[in-house]
Amino acid sequence: MQQEIVVITGASAGVGRATAQAFGKRKAKVGLIARGRDGLEAARREIEAAGGQALVLPLDVSDHDAVDKAAGEVEKRFGPIDIWINNAMLSVFSPIMEMEPDEYRRVTDVTYLGYVWGTLAALRRMKPRDRGTIVQVGSALAYRGIPLQSAYCAAKHAVQGFHDSLRCELIHDNSNVRVVMVNMPALNTPQFRWVKSRLPRKGQPVPPIYQPEIAAEAIVWAAYSDRREINVGWPTSAAIIGNNFVPGFADHYLGRHGYDSQMTDEPEDPNRPNNLWDPLPGDQGAHGVFDDRATSRSIHLELNKKRPWVVAGAAAFILGLLVMRR
């Protein structure tokens, strides 16, 4: 295990926080980007307690210059960045007709352009050295839009298109810089209690729900794999593959069931604070409020990590059946 130099955006909570903890256990040197100081400082303490090192970088990822400056600060303190993880996100849970123009702009600025600014900051440093890995934290919703999250789904689709373009250009340039997208399933993170919401009832990840440590495990693994993209959990693969074949059926299914499946039975407080423009105070940690409904295991991820063996085993099994039938 080497002492990697890693930057994580959205490191104060949720998936980014779990990923920071995972790299802390590897004793990595980690640049921690988010807006909220409380969560960032807590992440720093966790990494240091595990034997790693951390640099707290409070900033808004929609600010291109701030992101680039932070990359420079990480390199000055720790050395050349090995892995850059774009993960920070915002969303607004709302029917399209009730969305405000500045809400669409804000979600796009953070959830899409934040990834572009992070990628540029990493590429400017990695390309001349001809090494380094960029991880784009994606979603099943990068391929399949759902109701009530139009701004977020559109931003995730944009990240997916950007990812394809970047891969082509790196191949064209014979670059050894790698980029991989990790598409997540529904996760038990704080987002469902702090994103801006116009829903009548409290938001929830569409079950089945996975713990954020599964996402972190996939991200760490992806950073060292040679994959172009990794789907985490069977619901992610099912949504992406299914949508390729029957998108019209998915429209109707989600039109009927996609509202209720995103809400619990508890009424939402229409005046609760949200994180759209500013971070909320306090440390939210990696987990949301769904610990009792979330699983800490993904057999799909385990099999996915061993894909060559799984494919070889399946081929040998089918061959064996054919030979026995003769």
Ligand X SMILES: NC(=O)c1ccc[n+]([C@@H]2O[C@H](COP(=O)([O-])OP(=O)(O)OC[C@H]3O[C@@H](n4cnc5c(N)ncnc54)[C@H](OP(=O)(O)O)[C@@H]3O)[C@@H](O)[C@H]2O)c1
Q: Which residues are designated catalytic?
A: 152
The token pair at 291 is: 């610990």
What is the spatial distance between Cα 6 and Cα 281, in angstroms, rounded to a whole number?
Answer: 25
Residue with tokens 């774009």, as numbered in its chain: 86
What is the spatial distance between Cα 288 and Cα 271, in angstroms, rounded to a whole number?
Answer: 20
The bridge status of strand 5-9 relative to strand 29-34 is: parallel
C-alpha dihedral sign at 93, 232, 235, 211: negative
Residue whose beta carbon is closest to ligand X:
14
**Which CB, 6 or 187, lies closer to ligand X?**
187
What is the spatial distance between Cα 127 and Cα 139, in angstroms, rounded to a whole number?
Answer: 26
What's the min distance (Å) between Cβ of 170 and ligand X?
A: 21
Instruction: Please give the residue ranges that form the binding site for ligand X (CB under 6 A).
Output: 9-10, 12-16, 34-36, 39, 60-62, 87-90, 110, 137, 139, 184, 186-187, 189-191, 205, 275, 279
**Which CB, 129 or 272, lies closer to ligand X?**
272
**Which CB, 16 or 145, lies closer to ligand X?**
16
DSSP one-letter code for 132:
-
**Which CB, 28 or 131, lies closer to ligand X?**
28
What is the spatial distance between Cα 90 and Cα 135, in angstroms, rounded to a whole number?
Answer: 18
What's the min distance (Å) between Cβ of 114 and ligand X?
A: 6
Q: Answer whether 180's CB lies under 8 Å from 158's CB.
A: no
Burial (CB count within 10 angstroms: exposed 0-12, middle 13-18, buried 19+), residue 230: buried
CA distances from 109 to 1, 36, 88, 106 (A): 36, 18, 11, 5
Q: Answer whether 137's CB lies under 8 Å from 87's CB.
A: yes
Peptide bond into 208 cis (omega under 30): yes
What's the min distance (Å) between Cβ of 89 and ligand X?
A: 4
Q: Answer whether 21's CB lies under 8 Å from 50's CB.
A: yes
